[in-house]
Amino acid sequence: MSVLDAGDLRRAQTRIAHEIVERNRGADDVVLVGLYTRGLALARRLADAIAEFEGRDVPVGALDVSFYRDDIGLRSVTPTGPTEVPVDITGRVVVLVDDVLYTGRTVRAAMDALTELGRPRAIQLAVLVDRGHRELPIRPDFVGKNLPTRVGEDVRVRLAEVDGGTDCVELRDAPDEPDEEASA
Amino acid sequence: MKHLLSIDDLDVESLTELLDLSEQFVAVNQRDIPKVPALRGKVVASLFYEDSTRTRLSFETAAKRLSCDVMTFSVAQSSVKKGESLRDTVQTIAAMGIDAIVVRHPAAGAPHRIVDWIDASVINAGDGRHAHPTQALLDVLTLRRHRELNGLRVAIVGDVRHSRVARSNVQALHMLGAQVTLVAPPTLLPESLEGWPVQVSFELDDVISEVDVVMLLRMQFERQQEALFPTVREYTARYGLTEVRAERLKPDALVMHPGPMNRGVEVAAAVADGPASLVTEQVANGVAVRMAVLYSLLGSGASVA
């Protein structure tokens, strides 16, 4: 079942980009750090949008959180790409970007990974979909859509530059893979 | 995969995955804080029945960078001196609670026996003349970072007979499509080369200008119980990578040595320290490869199925 189409996604991204700039009174100190794989694609889109309406190039970094996860040993955790943050994050505002926020464990791992790269002035969190079922006290600062879900369901975000086709967000039954967010 | 005893434990796919994972750790090792919490709480014991500097330090560094606790067992200061058997020693260490044991032993097959005695993962850090899988992994990782391995011509030169490094490297290089030529006097080749996917040459001068990589082996004086070559000087004259001989290498040829080097015997100091040499890079990559091995074995088959 499709819950967001390409138009919805575009509008949500544009709004989030504006909210990030508004909250931080400009984009000067902001660094967007995307989580592999779709969070990184979203971070690039947000940077493009900010460049367009604010005339500022915001640095974009990529973060792989595999080695910081708390479920290593419980299941197979394979890194998806190199962690590359092009600027020193110390003293800046880091906006973590991911596609789906679920248990919050990925974000917790991301915060651990970030603090080893420097000491940001603040860490904020932007997600396209917040599907609930948090297991940790983590709350997003910027949300594209709040989507009530059941645990057995699977939220799948498809982005043109990652998955081909057109952008969309789907909700499906996937009893075999309740932990989909973790590998997204 | 639970243990890494030899390159036989891997196929092309799992070998490639392990090398890809190693690249992630190469990147981790270049950070200001070259450490990740991935294997917090895991305990790795190192048990070396033979002398070693780089392999032991490399494994212990790798374990620490993954936030493991490291239990170092020094045979020289242990109950082995009182005659304790390998089995008793290993079971004693295992009883203290370990997740992996890194073993080096002069007897081929010792790590394979240990697998039957304890529950922990066993990593072979060199057993007799048999295998040294992490050395081969770090060598192919190092090469892969410079060259396409498929079709690469590699000469492995020297004391092949006593070399576990050569055995493991032949397997790993062959698996990834490289063409290996062993270069040694007949007395320093194994009794039988049946089943080895290699060519053989008895003269370094015959192949020196054709190969892309020269991998030199250490002359293992400690394993030689008979006169296998007339004099060291004569060996160097025919099989050493001297400065004069190195001039005949292809302009972009690479030189490797697993260490420790007998400078002036199998390789001239100027060549070992020269621009074609990958020796220090091999050592650096060794830590990343061993991190990948530990992570794969202890992180529940994260990379290698």
Place of tokens 């054709």: B210
- Sheet containing strand B213-216, edge to edge, reads B198-201, B179-183, B153-157, B213-216, B254-256
Prediction ipTM score? 0.80
> Which of B43, B295, B297, B298 should one mutate to test binding to chain A, selecting the residue with the greatest count of A CBs within 10 A?
B295
Average of per-residue pLDDT across B72-101: 88
Q: Which domain holds residue A103?
A: 2-71+80-183
Which regions of B7-120 does DSSP assign to beta strands (E)? 43-48, 69-74, 100-105
CB contacts under 8 A, B 280-299 vs A, are 295, 298-299
CB contacts under 8 A, B 203-262 vs A, are none
The pLDDT of residue A78 = 86
Nearest-10 crossing angle of helices B279-298, B54-65: 50
Contact A50, A18 (CB under 8 A): no
**Per-residue pLDDT tens digits for B207-264:** 999 999 999 999 888 777 777 777 889 999 999 999 999 999 999 999 999 989 999 9
- Spans of all domains in chain B: 7-131+283-298, 147-277
Asked if the domains B7-131+283-298 and B147-277 are classified in one and the same CATH topology, the answer is: yes
B7-131+283-298 fold? Rossmann fold (3.40.50)
Would you say the C-alpha torsion A38, A124, A108, A58 has a positive or negative sign?
A: positive
Question: Would the CB atoms of A116 and B39 count as touching at under 8 Å?
Answer: no
Residues of chain A with C-beta less than 8 angstroms from the C-beta of B31: 116-117
User: How far does the CA of residue A170 sit from the closest CA of chain B (Å)?
Assistant: 28
Which positions of B are catalytic?
54-55, 82, 104, 132
B41 and chain A in contact, CB less than 8 A: no
Distance CA B86, CA B116 (A): 12
The pLDDT of residue B300 = 65
Average of per-residue pLDDT across B49-57: 90
User: Which CATH number covers residue A48?
Assistant: 3.40.50.2020
User: How far does the CA of residue B267 sit from the closest CA of chain A (Å)?
Assistant: 36
User: For B184-211, b where at least 16 C-beta lie within 10 A, e where not — what string?
Assistant: bbeebbbeeeeebebeebeebeebbeeb
What's this model's pTM, rounded to 2 decimal places?
0.89
Place of tokens 């080097």: B261
Question: Would the CB atoms of B301 and A83 count as touching at under 8 Å?
Answer: no
Distances (CA, A) of B219 to B188, B190, B268, B286: 10, 14, 14, 21
CATH architecture of B147-277: 3-Layer(aba) Sandwich (3.40)
> HSE of A14 in the Cβ direction (CA atoms, 13 Å)?
8
Which regions of chain B does DSSP assign to beta strands (E)? 43-48, 69-74, 100-105, 121-127, 153-157, 179-183, 198-201, 213-216, 254-256
Per-residue pLDDT of chain A (184 residues; tens, 9 = 90+): 889 999 999 999 999 999 999 999 999 999 999 999 999 999 999 999 999 999 999 999 999 999 999 988 887 788 888 899 999 999 999 999 999 999 999 999 999 999 989 999 999 999 999 999 999 999 999 999 999 999 989 999 999 999 999 999 999 986 655 454 444 4
Domain count of chain A? 1
Question: Would the CB atoms of B27 and A68 count as touching at under 8 Å?
Answer: no
**Per-residue pLDDT tens digits for B15-43:** 999 999 999 999 999 988 899 999 999 99
Nearest to A127 by CA among A183, A43, A44, A63: A43
Residues of chain B with C-beta less than 8 angstroms from the C-beta of A69: 38
The H or E element containing residue B10 is none
